[in-house]
């Protein structure tokens, strides 16, 4: 289909709104397509990644030869990268209701079916650390499959994205594998500087001060969830730059029943970020102060959609095409940070 013959190309399975795709494209890699069963991510993916096709399919129902027939993808292409960042709810330490995430458990094995059919030069996987420690994980079957298919050169590690230029403490399982002889893969070089919230957010970085409930109708999307009157009172009493809910725990009007006598648990909930530290892990619920340390360091509100996206290293011109704050936050929180994805792409091109 007229793709560049000598250029690295990729297929991004479980692509969501395109964090990995965006980063690989920034590295100069031709991302042929992204595959995902979340139709709500389609418009965001296609709008921001023109030329990369969003395939709205459940991987279990996608024929192995689909990319051969529709995109001219050839088998044993040394410059083909297959990416499998499968939904990870089943192995997440955050999600306690594993019954809802049972369907995500075997997606990595389904991804292996395409590796077996095409034998791409490179394979990339990113997932939660729990995929390594959970005894029911499909990872070890996946690794055995890779080995049997000739991917003898495999590097895998639990990494913290804050060590790779992402202004966020985000521990992830990262894997890169190749079947090519004489190629020694590795993970990207760690950054010399750890970026903090102050390095990317704040007025001096282009984020005007706003109040809870502010709606930004521009593509910048500096939109933030509203707060109830009682939550505004809580925020007003939460010290700036790292304060938490313990500052109002002894006020009966403000204290939540679920935290009475439990000052030692969930201390991050209703907490503020620190300016001089990386942000906490940006989850799909970062728009809600009750779900973690997602309050602005100084302003009495949660971080905005654009602030969350920036902490995930999405470009500021990346537009989230959704009808709700929750929908945008879901795309952002589920994404692979673009900056880390770019480094993976650059690494492969340097080999």
Nearest to 350 by CA among 131, 119, 13, 29: 29
C-beta of residue 166 within 8 angstroms of C-beta of residue 340: yes
Question: What is the spatial distance between Cα 338 and Cα 169, in angstroms, rounded to a whole number?
Answer: 15
> Which two tokens mark 154?
């495999």
- Could you tell me the sign of the dihedral formed by the alpha carbons of 281, 286, 288, 294, in that order? positive
**Burial class, 161, CB count within 10 angstroms (exposed 0-12 / middle 13-18 / buried 19+):** buried
Question: What is the spatial distance between Cα 67 and Cα 53, in angstroms, rounded to a whole number?
Answer: 11
Coil vs helix vs strand at 22: helix
Return the C-alpha torsion angle 119, 124, 126, 129, nearest 10.
Answer: 80
Name the β-bridge partners of 83. 12, 124
Question: What is the spatial distance between Cα 207 and Cα 197, in angstroms, rounded to a whole number?
Answer: 12
Alpha-carbon distance values, 35 to 132, 205, 287, 307 (Å): 24, 34, 26, 27
Question: What is the spatial distance between Cα 20 and Cα 106, in angstroms, rounded to a whole number?
Answer: 21
Assess whether 85 carries a catalytic annotation.
no
- List the catalytic residue out of 22, 85, 88, 338: 88
Residue 102: phi and psi, rounded to 5, are -55, -35
Task: List active site positions.
Answer: 88
């Amino acid at each position: 289909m007229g793709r560049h013959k000598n250029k690295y190309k990729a297929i991004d399975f479980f692509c969501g709104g395109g964090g990995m795709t965006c980063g690989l494209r920034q590295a100069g890699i031709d991302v042929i397509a992204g595959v995902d069963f979340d139709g709500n991510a389609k418009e965001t993916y296609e709008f921001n990644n023109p030329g990369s096709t969003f395939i709205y399919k459940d991987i279990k129902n996608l024929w192995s030869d689909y990319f051969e027939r529709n995109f001219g993808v050839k088998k044993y292409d040394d410059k083909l990268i297959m990416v499998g960042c499968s939904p990870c709810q089943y192995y997440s330490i955050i999600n306690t209701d594993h019954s809802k995430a049972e369907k995500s458990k075997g997606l990595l094995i389904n991804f292996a079916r395409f590796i077996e059919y095409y034998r791409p030069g490179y394979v990339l996987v990113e997932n939660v650390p729990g995929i390594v420690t959970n005894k029911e994980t499909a990872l070890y079957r996946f690794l055995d499959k890779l080995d049997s298919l000739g991917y003898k050169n495999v590097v895998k590690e639990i990494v913290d994205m804050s060590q790779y230029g992402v202004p966020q403490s985000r521990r992830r399982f990262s894997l890169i594998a190749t079947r090519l002889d004489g190629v020694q893969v590795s993970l990207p070089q760690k950054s010399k500087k750890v970026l903090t919230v102050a390095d990317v957010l704040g007025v001096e970085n282009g984020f005007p001060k706003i109040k809870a409930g502010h709606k930004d109708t521009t593509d910048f999307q500096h939109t933030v969830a509203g707060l109830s009157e009682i939550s505004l009172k809580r925020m007003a009493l939460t010290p700036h730059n790292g304060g938490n809910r313990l500052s109002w725990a002894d006020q009966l009007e403000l204290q939540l029943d679920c935290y009475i006598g439990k000052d030692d648990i969930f201390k991050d909930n209703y907490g503020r970020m620190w300016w001089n530290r990386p942000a906490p892990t940006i989850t799909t619920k970062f728009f809600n102060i009750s779900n973690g340390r997602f309050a602005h360091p100084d302003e009495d509100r949660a971080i905005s959609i654009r602030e969350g996206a920036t902490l995930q290293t999405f470009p500021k011109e990346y537009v989230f095409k959704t009808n709700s704050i929750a929908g945008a936050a879901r795309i952002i929180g589920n994404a692979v940070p673009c900056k880390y994805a770019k480094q993976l792409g650059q690494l492969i091109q340097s080999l």
